[in-house]
Amino acid sequence: MLRTHNCGELRIEDINKEVTLCGWVQKVRDKGGMIWIDLRDRYGVTQLVFDESKTSQEILATVRKLGREYVIQSSGIVVERYAKNDKIPTGSIEIDVKNIDILNASKVPPFTIEDETDGGDELRMKYRYLDIRRNPVRKGLELRHRMLQHTRNYLDGQNFMEIETPFLIKSTPEGARDFIVPSRVNQGEFYALPQSPQTFKQLLMVSGIDRYFQIVKCFRDEDLRADRQPEFTQIDCEMSFITRDDILQTFEGLIKYLFKQALNYSLDKVERMSYDHAMQYYGNDKPDIRFDMLFVEMNDVAQGKGFKVFDDAELVVGINVEDCADYSRKQLDALTDFVRKPQIGAKGLVYVKYNEDGSFKSSVDKFFNQEDLKVWAEKMNAKPGDLLLLLSGEQNHTRNALSELRLKMGSNLGLRSKHEFKALWILDFPLLEWDEDSQRFHAMHHPFTSPTPEDMEKLTTDPGAVKANAYDLVINGVEIGGGSIRIHDKTLQQKMFDALGFTADEAKKQFGFLMDAFEFGAPPHGGIAFGFDRLCAMFGGSESIRDYIAFPKNNSGKDVMIDSPSTVSIDQLKELGISLND
């Protein structure tokens, strides 16, 4: 080793030790007579000190050559600092330097290597290798490293076998978003990169592997939006001989373990909520339950009073924002503007202030008298000082809009701390969704998702009403994972294909080898997958998954550091037997 210690480990107990450190020059302070250098590596910062009167000219000449980010090796004696710095673990000591060597020079970096940098996003991505030197980015990657180890430790402890599934697989007919890979050896043919290891993990259950996991890259050639990556990492799991509750318990266990190990945070009981309940009371299938502010449906008390907007609405629904009756005109206008934004799309907002004196002031006083509004307040469980906010219109659309408003109010009122975590399972999703274009049902998840045990019969009589034996794990309003119990029974599978309007032949064509495999003794099984990038971001308290990926791509799917994707030579294409159109 070129060092005896790293830059994060020396303490007051190490005084008088002879040490050698290596690292990057964070800062040089020359106060005339004394020079200090902050030397940084992954592990921390240690202060080097040079007393000019006792230091050789040769060493001083070297010190004077140093610039930011120079790489040096330096030896000396650990001494106690006069002015201690209790903000860093090495703050009680410094190194009285006897020798210093420049291991490598550095050009001036294009942005400052500090917690708060002056580099913009694009610049930092181009020089990502310098961005990673910054504490916040490195800490994000350290958190990710720890979460990788903890996840595997837990699953290994639960008898899950880590099995690597192939990356060069087959494009499926519905796989319009597959990345494909031309084969040189088999010209005219293509591999596809997996969107998930779904079929392989089900095959592994047929293989008797019993419990499988993998932390694995998946690929999706989607039109990119903010915070989507064409390659992303998934914790992928599958179990045999289990019921839904076994899966929920096992993976609640995983999440609690991760919170405990990585953040020393004790997660509360993981709630369970049906999809219908979530939609009705939160307007959202991934409710943030750090705060209540539940939806109250108001049709029965709000309609029939001559307010046409409400009378014509499929749904009138509101939330009670506690202690906000003192909102100003300006604040209420801002909320109206918010719900009218195109991405939210409400036409307007009705408010009712429940004043401290027991009176009501609303934006619909023309249609509703104090008695009417008192009934509303009672229904919404409001007390004097509260503010009621109501939206109306088509049911789904209105729920979506009110959900956005609820989240905004939660944020405004500080009810969504990023240091508090509330997890819940959303259960009983619809199995099928009706597609107007093709006039048939589509599988909401995929066609191997099992109905709930109670709804098996309805699959032939009332397919639209069947619930899926599926589950999503939602934390703080973010979907972190999801999965389902799979169909392993041939007869049931046939009914499912019937409901989807598939002929046996079509099914065979589309799901061929998995269907074949299921003929040879498939066990009852189910599984789940977690978005690992998102999980790390949530644990790290960030909104952006990019902060937790070492070398992310930008919103156009480009890696600006290595300039990828890029053109390739005609020769290379010729070897593959393909050419560019036009």
> In whole angstroms, what is the distance from residue 129 CA to residue 138 CA?
11
Question: Of the candidates 79, 123, 148, 444, which one interacts with a second copy according to CB under 8 A?
Answer: 148
Per CB under 8 A, which region of 276-284, 293-301, 321-329, 553-561 contacts a second copy?
Answer: 553-561
Residues whose CB is less than 8 angstroms from the CB of residue 56 and which lie 6 or more positions away in sequence, other chains included:
none
| Residue 299 host element (H or E) | helix 299-302
Measured from the CB atom, the residue of 279 and 549 that comes closer to a second copy is 549
Measured from the CB atom, the residue of 83 and 176 that comes closer to a second copy is 176
> In whole angstroms, what is the distance from residue 388 CA to residue 364 CA?
12
Pairing of strands 423-427, 470-475: antiparallel
Question: Of the candidates 191, 291, 360, 502, which one interacts with a second copy according to CB under 8 A?
Answer: 191
> Between residue 195 and residue 224, which ones bind a second copy under the rule CB under 8 A?
199-200, 203-204, 206-210, 217, 219, 221, 223-224
Measured from the CB atom, the residue of 87 and 225 that comes closer to a second copy is 225
57: which DSSP letter? H
> Between residue 465 and residue 504, which ones bind a second copy under the rule CB under 8 A?
488-489
Measure CA 455 to chain center.
Answer: 32
Residues whose CB is less than 8 angstroms from the CB of residue 88 and which lie 6 or more positions away in sequence, other chains included:
44, 45
> Between residue 33 and residue 62, which ones bind a second copy under the rule CB under 8 A?
40-43
DSSP per-residue string spanning 241-295: S--HHHHHHHHHHHHHHHHHHHH-------EEEEHHHHHHHHSSSS--TTS----
CA distances from 211 to 112, 257, 366, 374, 524 (A): 47, 18, 64, 57, 12
Measured from the CB atom, the residue of 120 and 512 that comes closer to a second copy is 512
Asked if 379 contacts 301 with a C-beta cutoff of 8 angstroms, the reply is yes
Question: Of the candidates 10, 22, 278, 409, which one interacts with a second copy according to CB under 8 A?
Answer: 22
> Between residue 105 and residue 124, which ones bind a second copy under the rule CB under 8 A?
105-107, 109
Measured from the CB atom, the residue of 3 and 98 that comes closer to a second copy is 3
Per CB under 8 A, which region of 236-244, 406-414, 445-453, 467-475 contacts a second copy?
Answer: 236-244
Asked if 174 contacts 197 with a C-beta cutoff of 8 angstroms, the reply is no
Measured from the CB atom, the residue of 154 and 360 that comes closer to a second copy is 154
CA distances from 137 to 67, 91, 119, 143 (A): 23, 23, 13, 10
Does 384 help bind a second copy (rule: CB under 8 A)? no
Per CB under 8 A, which region of 31-39, 131-139, 390-398, 459-467 contacts a second copy?
Answer: 131-139
> Between residue 404 and residue 423, which ones bind a second copy under the rule CB under 8 A?
none
Does 557 help bind a second copy (rule: CB under 8 A)? yes
Measured from the CB atom, the residue of 124 and 353 that comes closer to a second copy is 124
> Between residue 246 and residue 285, which ones bind a second copy under the rule CB under 8 A?
246
Does 138 help bind a second copy (rule: CB under 8 A)? yes
546: which DSSP letter? G
Question: Of the candidates 100, 169, 335, 391, which one interacts with a second copy according to CB under 8 A?
Answer: 169
> Between residue 511 and residue 540, which ones bind a second copy under the rule CB under 8 A?
513, 517, 519-524
Residues whose CB is less than 8 angstroms from the CB of residue 579 and which lie 6 or more positions away in sequence, other chains included:
573
Per CB under 8 A, which region of 27-35, 52-60, 98-106, 499-507 contacts a second copy?
Answer: 98-106
> Between residue 385 and residue 404, which ones bind a second copy under the rule CB under 8 A?
none
Measured from the CB atom, the residue of 422 and 495 that comes closer to a second copy is 495
Tokens of 523: 């066990």
Tokens of 460: 């032939």
Does 182 help bind a second copy (rule: CB under 8 A)? yes
Tokens of 155: 């699953």
Tokens of 577: 């037997």
Asked if 99 contacts 2 with a C-beta cutoff of 8 angstroms, the reply is no
Question: Of the candidates 17, 152, 374, 408, which one interacts with a second copy according to CB under 8 A?
Answer: 152
Torsion 114-118-124-127 (CA) sign: negative
CA distances from 569 to 492, 576, 578 (A): 51, 11, 12
> In whole angstroms, what is the distance from residue 393 CA to residue 395 CA?
6
Backbone angles phi, psi at 47, to 5 degrees: -90, 130
Per CB under 8 A, which region of 54-62, 74-82, 135-143, 345-353 contacts a second copy?
Answer: 135-143
Asked if 337 contacts 329 with a C-beta cutoff of 8 angstroms, the reply is no
Measured from the CB atom, the residue of 200 and 310 that comes closer to a second copy is 200
CB of 10 vs a second copy, minimal distance in Å: 16
- Give me the amino acid identity at 30: D
CB of 423 vs a second copy, minimal distance in Å: 23
Tokens of 178: 């597959």
CB of 558 vs a second copy, minimal distance in Å: 7
Question: Of the candidates 80, 156, 314, 323, which one interacts with a second copy according to CB under 8 A?
Answer: 156
**Backbone torsion region of residue 569, taken as left when φ is above 0, otherwise alpha when ψ lies between -120 and 50, otherwise beta:** beta
Does 570 help bind a second copy (rule: CB under 8 A)? no
CB of 395 vs a second copy, minimal distance in Å: 35
Question: Of the candidates 118, 176, 225, 357, which one interacts with a second copy according to CB under 8 A?
Answer: 176
Asked if 435 contacts 312 with a C-beta cutoff of 8 angstroms, the reply is no
Q: Which residue has the tokens 């999980």?
A: 535
CB of 173 vs a second copy, minimal distance in Å: 8
Does 366 help bind a second copy (rule: CB under 8 A)? no
Per CB under 8 A, which region of 175-183, 349-357, 369-377, 386-394 contacts a second copy?
Answer: 175-183
CB of 421 vs a second copy, minimal distance in Å: 24
Measured from the CB atom, the residue of 73 and 336 that comes closer to a second copy is 73
Question: Of the candidates 98, 170, 228, 446, which one interacts with a second copy according to CB under 8 A?
Answer: 170
> Between residue 300 and residue 359, which ones bind a second copy under the rule CB under 8 A?
none
Measured from the CB atom, the residue of 217 and 340 that comes closer to a second copy is 217
Backbone angles phi, psi at 498, to 5 degrees: -60, -50
- Give me the amino acid identity at 304: G
Does 3 help bind a second copy (rule: CB under 8 A)? yes
Q: How many CB atoms lie within 10 A of CB 250?
A: 18
Question: Of the candidates 163, 263, 267, 294, which one interacts with a second copy according to CB under 8 A?
Answer: 163
